[in-house]
Structure 1
Amino acid sequence: MNEITVMLPAYNEEGNIIELIKKWENYKSTLKLHYQLDLQIVIINDGSVDQTKVIAERLQEDYDNLKLINHPVNQGLGMAVKTGIEYVLKNSSNSEYICFMDCDNTHDPKYIRDMIDKQKETHADVVIASRYQEGASVRGLSKLRRFTCQAAKRVYGTSLHVKGVRDYTCGYRLYKRTILEKLKDKFKDQMIEESGFACMTELLYKLYACGAVFAEVPFELRYDFKQGDSKMKIIRTSINSMKLVIKLKRIKT
């Protein structure tokens, strides 16, 4: 049977990871019944200094469909995502879909059905859970973060012009395995070079350079459910984002 592999990059998520895994496990039978997909989960522990690794090890013992990958030291979101892509391409040949999402309970697994349905309807290579489609909402985000997100949307939208994309930065995405194989073949070890949050835009644009077709579904971002401090450094992320736009525009599409 084909699989869907859920990739969860995690850094200091001791207060979030158990609840998130339980939510995903509740969808195991639904994915099998409605889509004939076995659920696999991979936690990429990116050098957490809290109890994330210990908790993930215990979860790995409790669930036979869960795998833990450890980075001994923190390398950043970009490297965690890269590790996840490389792992699934090498070790999970039956994974038709690969889903990445944040591991802080701000993203709800319930939207996976909308994302799969959208992929089947549009034949998109990438389906994004978007904050900017009709019906989407955001709860618990500070005014500064809201402003930063809106600014990023405008900068990326006017600079990169990727058809079908409004949300360039959300990490909750469903990928077809075939498009990630094209990414690896075209960019090799340079498929993700950004270590921070800008990696999500880099990945999106490089997939676009590989001919990816994109679609979006609305979702509710629940930042009020998050336990622990934000890992985003707003000023640094904003500066890196501007530098990234200049770099990405040099890529042939």
Structure 2
Amino acid sequence: MKKVSLCIFIPILNEENNLPLLVEKLVSLSVSASKIVLVIDPSKDRSLEVGKELERRFANVTVFYRESRPKGRGNAGKDAWIYCLDLKPDFILEMDADHSHDPKHIPEFLAAQKKHNADVVIGSRYTTGGREVRGFTRKLISWFAEKYLKVVLGVTFLTDPSSGYRLFTRESVEQFDPQSLTSSDHRITTEILFRVRRKRIVEIPIEFHDRKFGTTKLKWTVLVKSLVSPLIWRFRQRTD
């Protein structure tokens, strides 16, 4: 079996219109020995069929269909981390399927990791050179969430702690232990950051765009939980 240097996973739910262009962009990157894992939950559209078509077209694309697995973005992410770890890559990168994360930044993630010998590289909208292309209300919500999470998670050195566009070394993933993650929804992003906050983390500037097709899956209830959960994690840490 050919050695996998970089495993890229993409959680997918109702993204049939976004998948073809995204995968074509990923495949066209000059990143050697990469594996692209499409982590597809049962969808109302043709996400699975489109994913399988892409798997047939491209040798480094694999469909991981979560047909009978627990639902939720966090559960999908947990399964994806475990799946990618089994491939024993040097690095694992997570990104969204809706074109908010541009694949053009992936070589920059790898270059930053090498330059700084980083455990984690985070794509930031807010560091120098970063850019967020969204409406005012979404920007305001993001601004408040970032300020809050920086303090509560103890990562005041970061500019974009809620970013879901991130590169990890295999060793850092093994150490945060995806098998033990507890978040079933979008909170998995901050739960992982809380676990790796003392690792060597660097940020790179990225352009962040609103989704190309479809509607967001982030609900207000999940947003509120995402603000409360870090407080619980900090409290548990102090009482352990």
Task: Specify if TM > 0.5.
Answer: yes
C-alpha deviation, 1:238, in angstroms: 2.8
C-alpha deviation, 1:142, in angstroms: 2.6
1:144 aligns with 2:108: no
Alignment match of 2:207 (pick from 220, 232, 236): 220
Q: Does structure 2 retain, via aligned residues, the 8 Å contact 1:129–1:219?
A: yes
Structure 2, gaps ≥5 residues long: none
**Residue correspondence of structure 1 range 22-171 to structure 2 within 5 A:** 22-27=24-29, 30-32=30-32, 38-72=33-67, 75-90=71-86, 92-93=87-88, 95-139=89-133, 141-162=134-155, 164-171=157-164
C-alpha deviation, 1:144, in angstroms: 2.2
String of CA shifts for 1:113-149, please: whole Å, max 9, x gaps.
Answer: 111111111111110000110111111x232221211
1:203 aligns with 2:185: no
Point out the more displaced range, 171-180 or 153-162. 153-162
CA distance in 2, matches of 1:15, 1:199: 25
Matched pairs, number: 235
Q: Does structure 1 retain, via aligned residues, the 8 Å contact 2:4–2:35?
A: no
C-alpha deviation, 1:2, in angstroms: 4.8
SS of equivalent to 2:168: strand
Which residue of 2 is the match for residue 229 of structure 1? 215
AA partner of residue 67 (structure 2): P
CA RMSD of aligned residues (A): 1.8
Consecutive aligned runs of 4 or more in structure 1 exceeding 3 Å deviation:
none
String of CA shifts for 1:164-219, please: whole Å, max 9, x gaps.
Answer: 422111111011001111122xxx632x22222221011111122xx421110001
AA partner of residue 13 (structure 1): E
CA distance in 2, matches of 1:241, 1:81: 16
CA distance in 2, matches of 1:9, 1:196: 12
String of CA shifts for 1:81-115, please: whole Å, max 9, x gaps.
Answer: 1111111112x12x101110001111111101111
CA distance in 1, matches of 2:230, 2:161: 12
String of CA shifts for 1:2-61, please: whole Å, max 9, x gaps.
Answer: 51011010111011000000000111xx223xxxxx011000002222110010011111
Point out the more displaced range, 71-80 or 51-60. 71-80
C-alpha deviation, 1:163, in angstroms: 5.8
Q: Does structure 2 retain, via aligned residues, the 8 Å contact 1:164–1:214?
A: no
SS of equivalent to 2:31: helix
AA partner of residue 196 (structure 2): L
